[in-house]
C-alpha cells in the first residue's frame, strides 16, 4: 500500500506544494514593511503620534463638589476631576486619545483597578484593552453602589449594578465590550469615573500636562479622536511615517 501511495503523481504534488510554500513565503516577506532592507540597517518600527490637549485661551477653574453624605469619611467637599488643567501649559488631564478605525494586534487583556477612596473613584479616567478584568475596591468602610453603564447614563445602558457594602472589599467585573463605560455610585451622587475599553492598542489618556503618546503606529493617514466627558469629541487627521514622530495639538476654543 505504501509503495502505491508514493507514485510519481504524489511526488509531483509534493514538489508543487513545496514551490507554492516557497513562493508564498517570498511574497509574505515582501509585504512586511517593517523589515530592514539590509542587515546593517536597524529594524524600522512604526511611527509615533504625540501631542497635547489644551485650552489656548481661557480655561475653567477646578470645581468643588459639595458632599452631603458620609462626611466623616468623604469630607465636606472634593475637588472635581472634570476639568483638571495645568497652570503651566493649560493642558487638560483625563482626555482619552485614540486612533479611529485603527487595525492592529489586539492588545492583551489583563487586570485594571477602580478604587473607591474617600468617596472618589481613582483613577477618574483610564483606558484598557477589551476583555480586561476590573477589580473594584472598597476600603472606605461604608456602603457604595457601583453602577456601570455603556456609552451613556441612560438607565437602559446599564451593564452592571452592584451594591458594595463595607465588608465587601473587592468586586470583579469583566469589561467585555469595546466602548466607554460610565460609572456612578448610587449612594454618593458626586462619584463618577470613565473607562475607555479598546479593541486595538492605539490609545492613551492625557496626563497632568494634557499630553499623550501613541506608539508603534503603522505608517499611513489616520483620524485621531480626543474624548472628554464634558467636551465630547474633537478630531484631527495625521500622517504617520515609519520611525518618525508626528505632533498634534487639540486646541479647545471657547464654545467647544
Ligand atoms: Cu459611593
How far is 243 from 222, CA to CA, in rounded Å?
Answer: 16
Residue 142 CA to ligand 1 center (angstroms) comes to 8
Residue 98 CA to ligand 1 center (angstroms) comes to 30
Q: Is there a single domain that holds both residue 83 and residue 54?
A: yes
Q: Is there a single domain that holds both residue 84 and residue 22?
A: no
Q: Is there a single domain that holds both residue 23 and residue 134?
A: no
Q: In the prediction, which pLDDT does 63 show?
A: 95
Residue 138 CA to ligand 1 center (angstroms) comes to 9
Q: In the prediction, which pLDDT does 44 show?
A: 55
Residue 154 CA to ligand 1 center (angstroms) comes to 19
Confidence band of 255 (pLDDT split at 50, 70, 90): confident
Element spanning 184, H or E: strand 179-185
Mean pLDDT of 158-177: 97
Q: In the prediction, which pLDDT does 1 show?
A: 40
Q: Which residue has the higher pLDDT, 1 or 87?
A: 87
Residue 119 CA to ligand 1 center (angstroms) comes to 5
Residue 80 CA to ligand 1 center (angstroms) comes to 15
Q: Is there a single domain that holds both residue 20 and residue 113?
A: no
Residue 41 lies in a domain: no
Strand boundaries in 89-140, DSSP class E: 96-100, 111-116, 121-122, 125-129, 132-138
- Domain extent for 14: 2-31
Nearest to 88 by CA among 49, 124, 63, 54: 54
Residue 147 CA to ligand 1 center (angstroms) comes to 10
Residue 137 CA to ligand 1 center (angstroms) comes to 11
Mean pLDDT of 114-139: 97
Residue 199 CA to ligand 1 center (angstroms) comes to 30
Residue 117 CA to ligand 1 center (angstroms) comes to 9
| CATH number, position 91 | 2.60.40.420
> 51, 250 in Cβ contact below 8 A?
yes
Residue 173 CA to ligand 1 center (angstroms) comes to 17
DSSP characters over 67-101: --S-HHHH-SEEE-SS--B-TTT-BBSS-EEEEET
Reported as a single tens digit per residue, the pLDDT across 2-38 is 444 444 454 454 444 444 444 444 333 333 333 444 4
Reported as a single tens digit per residue, the pLDDT across 85-116 is 999 999 999 999 999 988 778 888 899 999 99
Residue 160 CA to ligand 1 center (angstroms) comes to 15
- In this prediction the pTM is 0.82
Q: In the prediction, which pLDDT does 57 show?
A: 87
Residue 141 CA to ligand 1 center (angstroms) comes to 11
Residue 78 CA to ligand 1 center (angstroms) comes to 13
Q: Is there a single domain that holds both residue 21 and residue 134?
A: no
How far is 124 from 24, CA to CA, in rounded Å?
Answer: 49
Q: Is there a single domain that holds both residue 18 and residue 59?
A: no
Confidence band of 220 (pLDDT split at 50, 70, 90): very high
Q: In the prediction, which pLDDT does 8 show?
A: 47
Q: Is there a single domain that holds both residue 27 and residue 51?
A: no
Mean pLDDT of 154-169: 96
Reported as a single tens digit per residue, the pLDDT across 49-99 is 999 999 998 999 999 999 999 999 999 999 999 999 999 999 999 999 999
Residue 216 lies in a domain: yes
Domain count, the chain: 2
Residue 60 CA to ligand 1 center (angstroms) comes to 26
Q: Is there a single domain that holds both residue 19 and residue 58?
A: no
Q: Is there a single domain that holds both residue 113 and residue 141?
A: yes
Residue 37 lies in a domain: no
Residue 109 CA to ligand 1 center (angstroms) comes to 27
Mean pLDDT of 128-135: 97
Q: Is there a single domain that holds both residue 138 and residue 221?
A: yes
- 3-12, 88-97, 214-223, 245-254: least confident range: 3-12
Amino acid at each position: 500500500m505504501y509503495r502505491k501511495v508514493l507514485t510519481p503523481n504524489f511526488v509531483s504534488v509534493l514538489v508543487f506544494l513545496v514551490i507554492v510554500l516557497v513562493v508564498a513565503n517570498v511574497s509574505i516577506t515582501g509585504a512586511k514593511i517593517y523589515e530592514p532592507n539590509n542587515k546593517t540597517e536597524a529594524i524600522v518600527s512604526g511611527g509615533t503620534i504625540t501631542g497635547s490637549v489644551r485650552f489656548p485661551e481661557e480655561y475653567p477653574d477646578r470645581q468643588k463638589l459639595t458632599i452631603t453624605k458620609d462626611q466623616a469619611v468623604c469630607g465636606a467637599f472634593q475637588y472635581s476631576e472634570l476639568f483638571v488643567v495645568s497652570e503651566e501649559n493649560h493642558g487638560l488631564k483625563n482626555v482619552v486619545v485614540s486612533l479611529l478605525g485603527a487595525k492592529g494586534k489586539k492588545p492583551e487583556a489583563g487586570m485594571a483597578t477602580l478604587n473607591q477612596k474617600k468617596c472618589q473613584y481613582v483613577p477618574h479616567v483610564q483606558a484598557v484593552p477589551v476583555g480586561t478584568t476590573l477589580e473594584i475596591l472598597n476600603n472606605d468602610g461604608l456602603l457604595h453602589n457601583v453602577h456601570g453603564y455603556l456609552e451613556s447614563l441612560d438607565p437602559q445602558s446599564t451593564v452592571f449594578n452592584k451594591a458594595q457594602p463595607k465588608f465587601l472589599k473587592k468586586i470583579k467585573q469583566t469589561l467585555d465590550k469595546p466602548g466607554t463605560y460610565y460609572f456612578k455610585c448610587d449612594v454618593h451622587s458626586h462619584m463618577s469615573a470613565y473607562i475607555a475599553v479598546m479593541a486595538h492598542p492605539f490609545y492613551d489618556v492625557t496626563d497632568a500636562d494634557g499630553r499623550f503618546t501613541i506608539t508603534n503606529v503603522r505608517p499611513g493617514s489616520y483620524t485621531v479622536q480626543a474624548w472628554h466627558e464634558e467636551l465630547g469629541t474633537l478630531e484631527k487627521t495625521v500622517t504617520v511615517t515609519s520611525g518618525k514622530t508626528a505632533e498634534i495639538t487639540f486646541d479647545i476654543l471657547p464654545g467647544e
